[in-house]
């Protein structure tokens, strides 16, 4: 078992009112799986992704990553997990506009203390992996939306994380670019990368091998395989 959430609750406070967002979430994901978490706006899917990605903490419940409970980890320990174990891909790419594709991809390696020459080599190899070896010196403004998202995927991959978390990764792309990005995720999963994708789009969720539906903060159905509703 790579990842397991047990009885996860997440509440927020608005003044004196407690607003429940996640309610008794129980999910488990094995290494090498490709899972889509699908739900409409306001369903709690992004909050769930933030907890899985160690960007937020649950109000209650247990989170096991590689069979180790991490709910009481310090901020430094969580930061280390985000650096080495988790890779993030966002709808808005989140690239540094003044940096080249190579420098954007190399950024996590600099945080990890990898020497400059080595990190540029690794960043180039990772850009090759997503088919952008001819765009290494281009800045984001010189790239199409689909190319920018592939740079973001390369950045997520560069530290060889166990899990890639993708939040609406095709939301800012045209249909052709979106299809290319989804094919890239499929290929990476075939190479052994565990992919967890957050989406509101059933067509995008259909690319995953398993679909978890979340509605009003609860998992509505976790018995789907191959992107198909059972």
Tens-place pLDDT, residues 77-90:
999 999 999 999 99
Question: What is the overall mean pLDDT for the chain?
Answer: 92
Supply the pLDDT for residue 224: 46
Taking only the tens place, the pLDDT of each residue in 8-52 is: 999 999 888 999 999 999 999 999 999 999 999 899 999 999 999
Q: Strands, DSSP E only, in 30-139? A: 34-38, 60-65, 68-69, 86-90
**Residue 230 scores a pLDDT above 60:** no
Say how far apart CA 56 and CA 77 lie, in whole Å.
Answer: 13
Taking only the tens place, the pLDDT of each residue in 169-198 is: 999 999 999 999 999 999 999 999 999 999
The stretch 72-81 carries a mean pLDDT of 94
The fraction of the chain above a pLDDT of 90, given in percent, is 90
Supply the pLDDT for residue 15: 87
**Residue 167 scores a pLDDT above 70:** yes
CB atoms within 10 A of CB 206: 17
The stretch 84-102 carries a mean pLDDT of 94
Q: Give the pLDDT band of residue 228 (cuts 50, 70, 90).
A: very low
Q: How far apart are the first and last CA of the chain?
A: 23
Taking only the tens place, the pLDDT of each residue in 141-150 is: 999 999 999 9
Cα Rg of the chain (Å, integer)? 18
**Residue 229 scores a pLDDT above 50:** no
The stretch 100-128 carries a mean pLDDT of 95
Dmax of the chain from CA atoms?
A: 55
Asked whether the beta carbons of 124 and 104 are under 8 A apart, the reply is no
Say how far apart CA 195 and CA 31 lie, in whole Å.
Answer: 9
Of 228, 207, 107, 204, whose CA–CA distance to 159 is shortest? 107
**Residue 55 scores a pLDDT above 70:** yes
pLDDT greater at residue 75 or residue 230:
75
Give the pTM.
0.91
Supply the pLDDT for residue 115: 94
Instruction: Tell me the two tokens of residue 112.
Output: 């990890």
Instruction: Tell me the two tokens of residue 144.
Output: 């199409």
Q: Give the pLDDT band of residue 220 (cuts 50, 70, 90).
A: confident
Supply the pLDDT for residue 221: 61
């Amino acid at each position: 078992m790579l990842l397991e959430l047990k009885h996860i609750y997440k509440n927020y406070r608005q003044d004196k009112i407690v607003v429940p967002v996640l309610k008794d979430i129980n999910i488990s994901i094995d290494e090498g799986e490709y899972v889509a978490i699908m739900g409409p706006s306001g369903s709690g899917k992004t909050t769930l992704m933030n907890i899985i990605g160690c960007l937020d903490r649950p109000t209650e419940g247990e989170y096991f990553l590689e069979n180790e409970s991490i709910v009481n980890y310090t901020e430094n320990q969580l930061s280390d997990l985000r650096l080495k174990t988790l890779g993030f891909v966002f709808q808005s790419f989140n690239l540094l506009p003044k940096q080249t594709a190579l420098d954007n991809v190399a950024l996590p390696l600099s945080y990890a203390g990898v020497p400059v020459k080595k990190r540029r080599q690794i960043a180039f190899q990772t850009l090759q992996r997503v088919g952008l070896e001819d765009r290494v010196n281009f800045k984001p403004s010189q790239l199409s939306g689909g190319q920018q998202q592939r740079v973001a995927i390369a950045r997520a991959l560069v530290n060889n994380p166990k899990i890639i978390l993708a939040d609406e990764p095709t939301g800012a792309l045209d249909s052709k670019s979106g299809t290319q990005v989804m094919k890239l995720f499929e290929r990476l999963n075939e190479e052994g990368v565990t992919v967890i994708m957050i989406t509101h789009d059933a067509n995008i969720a259909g690319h995953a091998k398993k679909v978890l539906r979340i509605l009003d903060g609860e998992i509505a159905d976790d018995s789907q395989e191959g992107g198909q509703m059972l």
